[in-house]
Chain A
């Protein structure tokens, strides 16, 4: 009989102390020439995985430079892990791992060599840098390809190398700028899973800057939405995607019949896209719907509790309206491959 010992319990995700990972107070940066990249930005980033959306290029790069202490703010203050960005910049830089948006890898070195060098640039001694680099490359999923020159890599592999160099310095917080840039759907899924795993299991806080609301909703615990250099909204994903007390019902056909029946049973359905939106009056609403569908012998394709979406921050449209599908005939063809 085999007995096994379970692996030791995973260290709790982010410190549950509630200390802000990043904190800015009325942070403002104006460049000569009048461009205001940040406008009295006041925000608190909690531990965990936080999405940063809506910041355009100038705002993002200005913010990261101020946080790394490379640029002084025009007004206001910023702190990272409790350290002041102006005074303690160098210490902050030992604690932050940064993955830039743009290509930043020299093509003629191997991933191993590059990540090891970057680990040494983070202050790790030679041997520790080697082993930490090897581990980082393992965590991001690069195997024997790590010994080849980076110039031969696909976009997905290059993004992983960028992530590995950010991890290899043993940071406490990661700043990932558009990590899925240029990746195809499979690559995006893999990268998002990796980031989610890092946030959950590695004990690091992660800030992901992205324009893609879908992926923010998928992996982030918190959200900071910025527009034109100032804070648009900040909060936890759960608070921003709360239920809207509406049920979306889709049946294969005879939607109108269902609407009539639900009306007769005291609900107020209204058409939406290919189905009906029904306000939830109380606990029994879904039972009424279930019974109506069963009685009419309808094929139930979807019953979904509508939630608010992050998209609403940027499009104050009626929640009820799902975009109308174009009136093209729905045919599909799969080609034998």
Chain B
């Protein structure tokens, strides 16, 4: 005798495992990292990250070609892509920091996050981790490409080791740049829900401080102002995060010429402290803003 069954399609409770707050925050960071590269959005969202990454990797590609032809490494690790990297990072952050925070502000999605098992302060920290990671990819992966492109052309363990020891400071600097720039950019972007304002704010801040620092630096190096010049040059370096970062690189022992002259031991320490202040200040701004948003 034929039989039949009607299956119960009613609402079923979920009876499996649930992740705790830590895993949720990690998931949010991972999701945001994908957004930082435009993954999961349309094609348009991928243009800027892809272009920035491509241009940043160009020297590494050229280097691979040069090495294949029998030459030696064409570019440094620690000042890789100077000074173009200033422009590239400004563009990247101006485009992607708003993508991470302004979008949710604009569309008032935050209450949905705050009604979930994560703390209000977790949200900006997850976004920050994602942006730092994104910057790290943009800054350090090309270095790795440079490295790989070089060591295929060298012979002997000693040569490889030499390349490796040269690479590592470059990677560390990439991390430093990522932390500083991402933190500042995110703090600025979180001030506005409108993409254009946030992007303008980020780009404006980095660009204007850079230009100002350049101008002051040029004034400082005009002939005939020796002693005053070096102090003035050091002061000029305080104005822009990029110059601060480069100054700290040289303070830490980097010898390749960069965008600012070597600040020396005392000033170098001052640069480092200012960077620390900028980072902690930005993080504080971010966290307190979202904590307030959760409670207001």
Q: A interface vs B, CB < 8 Å?
A: 1-8, 10, 65, 68, 70-71, 90-91, 93-94, 96-98, 100, 102-109, 113, 117-118, 120-125, 128, 132, 135, 139, 165, 169-170, 198, 201-203
Contact = CB atoms under 8 A, between A and B. Distances in A.
A68 B23 contact: no
Nearest to B23: A123
B107 A125 contact: no
Nearest to B2: A2
25 contacts: A3-B3, A7-B10, A68-B114, A70-B294, A90-B118, A93-B117, A94-B116, A94-B117, A98-B112, A104-B109, A105-B109, A106-B103, A108-B41, A108-B42, A109-B41, A117-B31, A118-B112, A121-B112, A122-B24, A124-B18, A125-B17, A135-B12, A139-B11, A169-B116, A201-B10
B111 A104 contact: yes
A287 B140 CA distance: 91
B21 interface: yes
Main secondary structure on B side of the interface with A? loop
Given A5-B6, A104-B108, 5 more contacts: A94-B18, A94-B117, A102-B108, A121-B112, A121-B113
B13 interface: yes
A124 B108 contact: no
Contacts of B295: 65, 70-71
A138 to B, nearest CB: 8
Contacts of A122: 18, 24, 116-117
B53 to A, nearest CB: 22
Interface string B93-119: 000000000011001110111111111
Contacts of A2: 2-4
B5 A4 contact: yes
B40 interface: yes
B70 interface: no
B115 A113 contact: no
B124 interface: no
A90 B119 CA distance: 8
Given A71-B295, A100-B111, A103-B107, A123 B117 contact: yes
Contact of B28 (A93, A97, A121): A121
A123 B18 contact: yes
Which A-B residue pairs are the 6 nearest by beta carbons?
A170-B14, A98-B115, A123-B18, A202-B11, A7-B8, A123-B19
Contact of A123 (B5, B24, B108, B112): B24
Contacts of B157: none
Most buried by B among A98, A104, A139: A104
B253 interface: no
Nearest to A127: B16
Interface string B195-228: 0000000000000000000000000000000000
Contacts of B16: 124-125, 128
Contact of A121 (B1, B12, B24): B24
Contacts of B119: 90
